[in-house]
A and B are shown apart, each in its own frame.
Chain A
């Protein structure tokens, strides 16, 4: 295919050609970044929690007034819940993943340190590891006699120093002591020191207010909660029985003590889905924008190409009369579009990179992976070719006899 006639024609239609190039460039840049944003959002919704999500349900309740014996209340509730058919484990815990309610503290590696090394979440509750199904990768779980009552500790600060042990996540251990085993190491909370006795594979913070990089900075403490200090019962069951277990648990708990209100009863899957709903909504909006953009661009190409075909009807007729085949005419318009698209895509890549830099500084987004560039180029080439096909076929259908007619 000879390019020279195409280039000379385009030179005569410089502004429309430029506009088409610009449109393709902008579309290319926005679509590349939007697809990248979608992939980031969807990836975020897949974030690992470290718990056996599909087997867990949560029931949260609050007492009216002050319970007479909150400690006994909790033990009685737990005994009831463990008896329910289908329940394999139950725990009263201070926090539940994806509930956005969290208790955090600054930790230090050296008591003399002025600033804390980092801020981590504190999980508490007897039997938490077994109930959550968190995987222990080193060290051991807490022993029954290691647990202290949270309420007692809250009213007597001196008891704080008696909490001797802690279990941390792999990610937190790696962050605090890179390349070393966290086992046996000490961390300081205020003036209290605790020793790491176990490491779990993962346990996500209930709230990601410190950013996704800090999502796994969690510690588990051997503290027993009471009905006064915690409100969330977590039950483990086979995934098919979750709804039934929730209903049964709510009924049993209300029957045991009617003077309280059930705030929430949900499967952990539902809690997770709600936690990431904004990310999914954003991904949905982005998909909508991408589709709209591609449609508008395609229609723009159709419109401009149709105009050019109509304008050049006579020229096409002359070319046909001079021996050009239908295929030649078709190829002419296809090549012309390919040429414009290529310039647009090249410009669009530079623009995409620029937008990505902007997003990186303002929205803490990572760098656009290079794979997006060739894929984006191919997609836009295909759309360009598809859009120009109709007008090009119409051009190819112009009969040579047009050349002999004036107007």
Chain B
């Protein structure tokens, strides 16, 4: 039966090529625009570490003085050196890492490459294990290296390609800011999106090329990127004593019970520091997981959301347009439908036949929409935003495009098909 309906649909679509083309074009444009913006939104609001993000938490404390105090206001987005180190050394979580972003001058051994600046991450040993960072060669450093301020470095695959032509460079020396570092590991390709662990250096920016221990970087006074928020007499040259927050601290807590216990620990720590006189404000802590932290920081650019609204408005217009055209088309065939009814076809089978025709339009429109979405994403990638390079269609979105197009067109076909089925056969036969 479906084959017959399809045949009828194709005949009918061929009979009025201009109208068919118009419907297909409208559907394709609407679907193309919506899928382009939806794909961008989907990529940008994705989970950076699927399966793991629910176990990673971002503790926040409030070490500021009473200046500007608002009860239960949002605590600073980062931690200072003293609190960060205290939490790191307490080892109350399965894994914990303290970090910040920076940039270091890299002085390649080969004279063919001019010295250049590379974005760096200054962090502690657990970073790699906690974030499931894949290694191509070697491994990260350990807690003893952190303590000793060891001059060790981990490179990303991209930087290793650039400096060592992709060869295993572990054990080699790399000069950075006039200091010799020993390379202990090379990462495999790794780019969590968004750049969740440090939103201060750009939510979707390309990641850092080199990792060194935070203690080493701080001792050597490597340049720090991102935000530094100070209070009181915080403004100082020595970041270890400055009353400033400038570090991100992440912990891995495997169960809700562990998370609850850690929260309690943060409150106790705050009370203790308050008793010691270091903290002046009442304990005020936060412990958000990755997605909670991303939501709170509203990482998805508002322009992207605006574009989604816009695209759906456009799709709505296209669908209304299609409903109108389809109605015109179906009603014009009243005579033919009347004949079929008179020959014994039920309303239901007429309805099915017309919906098959609508579905065929949807399928062709969906294909067109897919091509337009691919073109649209290509255009998005040529945009200057730092998330632009991430805009690619994945398989779920590809399938969603077709499903979306067919469902939308079937919905658009419901009203015209229903109207057309209501035509009394006798009237049509008589008038002709």
Name A residues whose Cβ lies closer than 8 Å to a Cβ of B: 15-16, 19-20, 22-23, 26-27, 29-30, 34, 37, 62-66, 106, 114-116, 154-155, 157, 160, 190, 261, 263, 274, 277-278, 281-282, 285-286, 289, 292-293, 296-297, 299-300, 302-304, 306-308, 310-311, 359, 362-363, 407
7 interchain pairs, CB-CB under 8 A: A15-B327, A30-B313, A261-B114, A261-B116, A281-B385, A304-B324, A311-B331
CA distance A281 to B313 in the complex (A): 19
Closest CB in chain B relative to A262 CB, distance in Å: 10
B13 within 8 A of A: no
Give residues 383-432 of B contacting A (CB, 8 Å): 383-385, 415, 419, 432
A155 touches B237 (CB 8 A): yes
A261 touches B117 (CB 8 A): yes
On whether A300 and B415 interact (CB within 8 A), knowing A289-B310, A310-B332, the answer reads no
**Which partner residue on chain B sits nearest A209 by CB separation?**
B227
B110 within 8 A of A: no
- Residues of A contacting B317 in the complex (Cβ-Cβ under 8 angstroms): 23, 26-27, 30, 293, 296-297
Give residues 1-47 of B contacting A (CB, 8 Å): 18-19, 22, 25-26, 29-30, 33
B221 within 8 A of A: yes
B233 within 8 A of A: yes
B306 within 8 A of A: yes
CA distance A286 to B331 in the complex (A): 36
On whether A154 and B324 interact (CB within 8 A), knowing A30-B310, A299-B25, A303-B22, the answer reads no
Partner of A154, one of B33, B114, B237, B327: B237
On whether A307 and B314 interact (CB within 8 A), knowing A64-B177, A154-B237, the answer reads no
**Which partner residue on chain B sits nearest A41 by CB separation?**
B303
Partner of B419, one of A15, A106, A115: A15
- Residues of B contacting A37 in the complex (Cβ-Cβ under 8 angstroms): 306
**Which partner residue on chain A sits nearest B116 by CB separation?**
A261
A19 touches B233 (CB 8 A): no
A64 touches B232 (CB 8 A): no
B318 within 8 A of A: yes
A16 touches B328 (CB 8 A): yes
Interface membership of chain B positions 291-330, coded 1 if the CB is closer than 8 angstroms to chain A and 0 otherwise: 0000000000011001100110110111011011101110
Q: Which of B68, B310, B385 has the most CB of A within 10 A?
A: B310
CA distance A282 to B388 in the complex (A): 13
- Residues of B contacting A311 in the complex (Cβ-Cβ under 8 angstroms): 331-332
A300 touches B325 (CB 8 A): yes
- Residues of A contacting B115 in the complex (Cβ-Cβ under 8 angstroms): 64, 261
Closest CB in chain A relative to B369 CB, distance in Å: 13
Closest CB in chain A relative to B9 CB, distance in Å: 18
CA distance A346 to B339 in the complex (A): 42
**Which partner residue on chain A sits nearest B318 by CB separation?**
A296
B117 touches A30 (CB 8 A): no
A289 touches B327 (CB 8 A): no
Q: Which of A114, A157, A285, A308 has the most CB of B within 10 A?
A: A285
Give residues 327-386 of B contacting A (CB, 8 Å): 327-329, 331-332, 383-385
A114 touches B105 (CB 8 A): no
- Residues of A contacting B22 in the complex (Cβ-Cβ under 8 angstroms): 299-300, 302-303
Interface membership of chain B positions 109-121, coded 1 if the CB is closer than 8 angstroms to chain A and 0 otherwise: 0000011110000
Closest CB in chain A relative to B378 CB, distance in Å: 14
CA distance A64 to B221 in the complex (A): 12
B320 touches A26 (CB 8 A): yes
B26 touches A274 (CB 8 A): no
**Which partner residue on chain A sits nearest B386 by CB separation?**
A278
Partner of B236, one of A23, A26, A157: A157
- Residues of A contacting B177 in the complex (Cβ-Cβ under 8 angstroms): 64-65
Name B residues whose Cβ lies closer than 8 Å to a Cβ of A: 18-19, 22, 25-26, 29-30, 33, 66-70, 103, 105, 107, 114-117, 177-179, 221, 223, 232-233, 235-237, 302-303, 306-307, 310-311, 313-314, 316-318, 320-321, 323-325, 327-329, 331-332, 383-385, 415, 419, 432
B310 touches A66 (CB 8 A): no
- Residues of B contacting A303 in the complex (Cβ-Cβ under 8 angstroms): 18-19, 22, 321, 324-325, 328
CA distance A263 to B320 in the complex (A): 53
B320 touches A19 (CB 8 A): yes
A274 touches B384 (CB 8 A): yes
Closest CB in chain B relative to A4 CB, distance in Å: 24
Partner of B33, one of A65, A277, A292: A292
**Which partner residue on chain B sits nearest A281 by CB separation?**
B383
- Residues of A contacting B237 in the complex (Cβ-Cβ under 8 angstroms): 154-155
Partner of A300, one of B310, B321, B331: B321
The 9 closest A-B pairs by CB, nearest first: A65-B178, A307-B328, A19-B324, A300-B321, A277-B384, A64-B105, A23-B320, A30-B313, A26-B317
CA distance A359 to B302 in the complex (A): 11
A286 touches B310 (CB 8 A): yes
Closest CB in chain A relative to B153 CB, distance in Å: 16
CA distance A62 to B117 in the complex (A): 9
Partner of B323, one of A19, A64, A293: A19
CA distance A157 to B67 in the complex (A): 19
**Which partner residue on chain A sits nearest B415 by CB separation?**
A15
B303 touches A282 (CB 8 A): yes
CA distance A60 to B22 in the complex (A): 55
- Residues of B contacting A22 in the complex (Cβ-Cβ under 8 angstroms): 320
B303 touches A278 (CB 8 A): yes
A66 touches B221 (CB 8 A): yes
- Residues of B contacting A64 in the complex (Cβ-Cβ under 8 angstroms): 105, 107, 115, 177-178
**Which partner residue on chain A sits nearest B70 by CB separation?**
A115
A20 touches B324 (CB 8 A): yes
**Which partner residue on chain B sits nearest A18 by CB separation?**
B324
Closest CB in chain B relative to A356 CB, distance in Å: 13
CA distance A278 to B233 in the complex (A): 38
B415 touches A281 (CB 8 A): no
On whether A19 and B327 interact (CB within 8 A), knowing A154-B236, A263-B117, the answer reads yes
Closest CB in chain B relative to A347 CB, distance in Å: 12
B384 touches A16 (CB 8 A): no
CA distance A297 to B323 in the complex (A): 13
Closest CB in chain B relative to A148 CB, distance in Å: 14
Q: Which of A34, A66, A114, A292 has the most CB of B within 10 A?
A: A292
Closest CB in chain A relative to B61 CB, distance in Å: 20
**Which partner residue on chain B sits nearest A282 by CB separation?**
B303
B29 touches A114 (CB 8 A): no
- Residues of A contacting B68 in the complex (Cβ-Cβ under 8 angstroms): 106, 114-116
Closest CB in chain A relative to B202 CB, distance in Å: 10
Partner of B233, one of A190, A281, A289: A190
CA distance A54 to B212 in the complex (A): 41
CA distance A402 to B221 in the complex (A): 92
Partner of B321, one of A289, A297, A306: A297
Closest CB in chain B relative to A211 CB, distance in Å: 12
- Residues of B contacting A299 in the complex (Cβ-Cβ under 8 angstroms): 22, 25-26, 321
CA distance A213 to B307 in the complex (A): 24
A300 touches B235 (CB 8 A): no
- Residues of A contacting B314 in the complex (Cβ-Cβ under 8 angstroms): 30, 289, 292-293, 296
A190 touches B232 (CB 8 A): yes
Question: Other than the known A23-B324, A114-B69, what 5 A-B pairs have Cβ atoms closer than 8 Å?
Answer: A299-B26, A303-B22, A306-B18, A362-B302, A363-B306
A114 touches B67 (CB 8 A): yes
Closest CB in chain B relative to A107 CB, distance in Å: 12
- Residues of B contacting A300 in the complex (Cβ-Cβ under 8 angstroms): 22, 26, 320-321, 324-325
CA distance A155 to B331 in the complex (A): 84
- Residues of A contacting B303 in the complex (Cβ-Cβ under 8 angstroms): 278, 282
Closest CB in chain A relative to B131 CB, distance in Å: 27
